[in-house]
């Protein structure tokens, strides 16, 4: 299933459209998460979260799952992966001190009605992802020119002083 409604925004006025550059990376990330091994890990992790909640109830846990819900984690995981595929959280490209940050919001709803776009956004550091400060040597392998142009153009941006943004920067949480 293809990634649906992917929205990528570069938080720099001179930035371009990077959607078709980021899309294969998102696809790769989804393939990783949907692999059998990853499903096992996430199911185990989800069950751990619920067990911890049951053992030591916390006010932070907004949804009071029942103990029996631990058995449904694999179902919840499937719903989560499907929802993320069909409505991927918005991605921002911005200079920052880490590779990426997941900013989450209160999406307040039923587990089956989860909407990743409402639940937050992902900010990726294009300086780290580019790690280059000048254009890479020519000639490009044929067909790889454009993805390279992302890295080099972003790297060039990283060298210039950043103009003040004309729109509000999304709030980040750790």
Partner 1 sequence: MVNAEEERLTGRKDVASYRAKAKEEEARAQELWDDYHDLKRSRSPDTEKKRRRHASESHRPSCDRDTAAEAEAKTGARAAEQRAKDWSDKVSASRGKAANAYRNHKAFQFQMTLTIAHELVHFFTCYITGGPTAGKTPPPVHSSHYYHGPDRGEAGGYWENEMFGGAIFFYEDTQDPLMARQAGIPYLGSGEFKKATYWRVSFSYMEALVDPTKGWSRFLLRRQQVHEQVLHAPAAHN
Member of 54, 86, 107, 117 binding partner 1 (CB under 8 A): 107
Contact characters 32-61, partner 1, x per CB under 8 A:
xx-xxxx--xx-xxx-xxx-xx----x-xx
Residue 97 gets which letter from DSSP?
S
**Distance of closest approach, residue 156 Cβ to partner 1, in angstroms:** 11
Member of 15, 118, 148, 170 binding partner 1 (CB under 8 A): 148
In the chain, helix, strand, coil percent, each to 5? 50, 10, 40
Binding status of residue 142 toward partner 1 by CB under 8 A: yes
53, containing H or E segment: helix 36-55
**Distance of closest approach, residue 109 Cβ to partner 1, in angstroms:** 10
Binding status of residue 157 toward partner 1 by CB under 8 A: no
Binding status of residue 5 toward partner 1 by CB under 8 A: no
Binding status of residue 169 toward partner 1 by CB under 8 A: no
Do 42 and 33 meet the contact criterion of CB atoms below 8 Å apart?
yes
Residue 34 structure tokens = 């949907």
For the chain, what is the radius of gyration of the CA atoms? Answer: 19
């Amino acid at each position: 299933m293809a990634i649906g409604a992917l929205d990528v925004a570069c938080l720099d006025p001179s930035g371009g459209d990077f959607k078709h550059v980021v899309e294969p990376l998102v696809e790769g990330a989804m393939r990783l998460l949907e692999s059998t091994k990853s499903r096992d890990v996430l199911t185990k992790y989800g069950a751990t979260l619920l067990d911890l909640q049951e053992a030591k109830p916390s006010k932070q846990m907004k949804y009071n799952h029942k103990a029996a819900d631990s058995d449904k984690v694999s179902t919840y995981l499937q719903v989560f992966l499907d929802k993320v595929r069909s409505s991927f959280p918005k991605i921002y490209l911005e200079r920052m001190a880490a590779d990426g940050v997941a900013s989450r919001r209160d999406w307040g709803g039923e587990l089956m009605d989860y909407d990743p776009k409402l639940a937050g956004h992902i900010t990726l550091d294009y300086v780290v992802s580019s790690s280059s400060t000048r254009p890479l040597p020519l000639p490009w392998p044929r067909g790889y020119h454009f993805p390279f142009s992302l890295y080099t153009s972003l790297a060039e941006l990283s060298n210039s002083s950043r103009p003040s943004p004309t729109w509000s920067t999304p709030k980040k949480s750790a």
